[in-house]
Amino acid sequence: MQENGLNRKWLTQGTLALAGLMLMLIAPVQALALTQEERLALLEERYKTQEDAFAWMKNFKPLGDLRLRHEQLIRDGDNGTARVFSRTRHRIRFRLGGEYFFDPNLKVGFRLVTGGDDPISTNQTLDDGFDTKGFNFDRGYADWKYRQMQLRGGKFGVPFMKSEMLWDGDLSVEGATEKFWHKLGNGKIELILGQFAVEELSDTATSASGGREDDPNLMAYQAIVSQKLGEIGEAKVAVGYFDYNALAGNILPFATKGNTLDAAGNYITNYDLFNVMAAFKTDMIFGIPVTLYGEYVKNVADRADKLENMGWHLGTKIGKKVKKFGDWQLKYLYREVERDAVLDAVSDSDFHEAGTNAKGSEMAAEFGIYDGVLASVTYWVTNEITGPKDHLERLQLDLIFTLF
């Protein structure tokens, strides 16, 4: 009996010791498990914080491209201005911007570009002993759509159906625009209005009559009708009126050449431009897209009727817009722009070295050599319409890389 009592005692003590040992082993494991759960929760919280910090990127659309250019200009003959020369230069254009969408109908956008202050050129010539090049604020705007209406304000691209006869491709206007549209079967009607600041004059500026000079501005109106013609193609016609006010007696900082000026170097007339454009696109010719287009403009301002005030062009494009490898497009255009047909400060900067009083041809070919990369060659042959002989040939070889 005594032996049995001792055995029970040892058994009890052994059981208690084993239980204590198990508790000692289990407790750290439980503590470790708790720590891991806490760590996991902390990591999840940190990840969510980082995700929230970059959530805006889901609503941001980047935009950008780089263009490398080789250019040659050849001018011959006696043009009366001692500018007879042949010139070779290399230029770059880099544009970087984006749009942020608050929702699908409300966005703000911006763009930075190379080049100087010239509103119709974002090219940067490679020269001046490897100096650093400038980068400028080119666009900043807000845009809102509601049903069949779109409003935009700030500094932005030309909002109209357009060509470079009136508007250079690099131009960004400043002010506000309103667009309205309505679909009719296979057609569409659009109305685009614009109110733009052209120049802000100081309080001391006076007109030729001695009174307070108005700030030059542009009031713009354009109606567009487009119609799908079944398997034949699509036609589009635009009629516009672009009313530049308070230009007569003033001069814009970046006026080029061609417009008629008075003895003081100011415009002698305003520029109220009546403009008609038409385009027809079809792919019935062996399945290849072909576009035929034309444009007419006349300056109908009061004093312009006594000036050379008309311009027109006709052209064609064969092939589709180049976006990816294997795409190609050919272009031919013939244009005549009389001296006061358009405002030279904002019109095509490549045609006849910018300006008006010019006629001639533009020929171009583009090819997609990678997705988002295109090579192009463009050649102009232009002459003066009136005045001293001014024959100019221009060749541009471009590589364009679309980044986004």
How far is 194 from 221, CA to CA, in rounded Å?
A: 7
Q: What's the burial of 132, exposed, middle or buried (CB within 10 Å: 0-12/13-18/19+)? A: exposed
* 62-402 has CATH 2.40.160.10 classification: yes
Residue among 242, 245, 243, 247 nearest 262 (CA): 247
293 with 315: CB under 8 angstroms? yes
**pLDDT confidence of residue 217:** 95
pTM: 0.84
Structural domain spans, the chain: 62-402
Q: Which runs of E-coded beta strand occur in 206-343?
A: 217-228, 234-245, 271-285, 288-299, 310-319, 328-337
50 phi, psi to nearest 5 deg: -65, -40
What would the two tokens of residue 50 be? 């980082």
From first CA to last CA, the distance across the chain in angstroms is 94
Mean pLDDT, the chain cut into blocks of 10 residues (404 residues total): 50 56 52 66 78 83 97 74 73 98 97 93 94 93 98 98 96 98 96 96 53 80 97 96 94 91 94 98 93 98 91 98 97 98 95 93 98 98 92 96 96
Query: Which DSSP state fits 304?
Result: G
- Per the CB < 8 A criterion, the answer to whether 268 and 262 are in contact is yes
Question: b/e string for 287-325 if b means 16 or more Cβ within 10 A?
Answer: eebbbebbbbbbbebeebeebbbbbbbebebebeebeee
Residue 39 has a pLDDT of 76
CA–CA distances in Å: residue 254 to residues 118, 249, 278: 6, 16, 30
97, 111 Cβ separation under 8 angstroms? yes
